[in-house]
Amino acid sequence: MLVIRNLDVKFNVNGTSVHAVNGISYDISPGQSMGIVGESGSGKSVSAMAIMGLLPSSAQINGDIRFHGQSLRSLPEDHYRKIRGKKIGYIFQNPLAALNPVFTIANQMIETIQLHHDLSKDTARELAIDLLNKVKIVDAGRRIDDYPHQFSLGMCQRIMIAMTLSMKPELLIADEPTASLDVTTQKEILELMDELKEEYNMAMMFISHDLAVVSERCDTVGVMHLGHMVEMGTPKDIFTSPKNEYTKTLIDAIPKISF
């Protein structure tokens, strides 16, 4: 489904070329879950934004990004836009930054649905309410007409997930989707994403700094450090016999409860 080969991203910072992603390669198959872990600044989000074609024009990108055999980097922007969202969905770390504060949830979801599907406004609204019910927004038929500021951060993340699902993506990239949430809400969102992945049979890329969270829900885990993919394997491989010293450090950093 998604094939990444020697992806390389550089930025020019004050006349100096800075390597954000350094020649990483991996594959994601239909229905597969892949986790990308590493500390802040390791290149996780930059690599995902490169896949989505959302990096600024100042970024120097090299390497091959293929989706179902098609080179995304060679596509004109209008063709890329048809794949972005509809075929490859993206859940951002901060849902409030992704939702427009001056429009109701109904306005934003209906516009998104009609952009990608040939549906009437009334039918799009019904679909939006159904999706809000799926992500467990209570009284969705009424609350769809509320504004983002009337929801908690956790509820806004649920709305963003519903909006992404409205496009029926084949691959969902979740970029630290629980980073700004409290522990209880984190658990609820993660369980919700697990349920929806199974229901919609999506492939998923789960980006996180938390190796323990990723290991519970991913078939493959890639460890990034300073722009490099330093190790990749199954969660069992990573936890029982890590090969890289940085991976060992990440595992050692996982809190352990002792009595």
Please tell me the distance from the alpha carbon of residue 46 to that of residue 20, in angstroms, as a whole number: 7
Residue 170 has pLDDT above 90, yes or no: yes
Q: Are strands 16-28 and 2-13 parallel, antiparallel or unpaired?
A: antiparallel
Residue 29 has pLDDT above 80, yes or no: yes
pLDDT value for 129: 96
Q: Which helix (H) or strand (E) holds 28?
A: strand 16-28
Backbone angles phi, psi at 50, to 5 degrees: -65, -40
Please tell me the distance from the alpha carbon of residue 1 to that of residue 67, in angstroms, as a whole number: 5
Q: Render pLDDT for 239-257 as a digit per residue (tens, 0 to 9).
A: 889 999 999 988 887 776 5
Q: What is the pTM of this model?
A: 0.89
Q: What's the DSSP call for residue 72?
A: G
Question: What pLDDT band is residue 14 in, cutting at 50, 70 and 90?
Answer: confident
* Over residues 53-72, mean pLDDT: 93
pLDDT value for 192: 84
pLDDT value for 140: 95
Angular region, 69: left φ>0, alpha ψ -120 to 50, beta rest: left
Asked which of 113-122, 130-139, 189-198 is least confident by mean pLDDT, the reply is 189-198
* Over residues 117-133, mean pLDDT: 93
Residue 212 has pLDDT above 70, yes or no: yes
* Over residues 56-66, mean pLDDT: 93
What's the mean pLDDT when you consider all of the chain?
A: 90
**In 200-238, which positions are buried (b, 16+ CB within 10 angstroms) versus exposed (e)?**
eebbbbbbbbbbebbbebbebbbbbbebbbbbbbebeeb
- Spatial CA neighbour of 222 closest among 232, 230, 214, 212: 232
Asked which of 44-53, 103-112, 166-175, 247-256 is least confident by mean pLDDT, the reply is 247-256
Please tell me the distance from the alpha carbon of residue 112 to that of residue 110, in angstroms, as a whole number: 5
Residue 160 has pLDDT above 60, yes or no: yes
pLDDT value for 258: 55
Q: Render pLDDT for 89-112 as a digit per residue (tens, 0 to 9).
A: 998 888 888 899 999 999 999 998
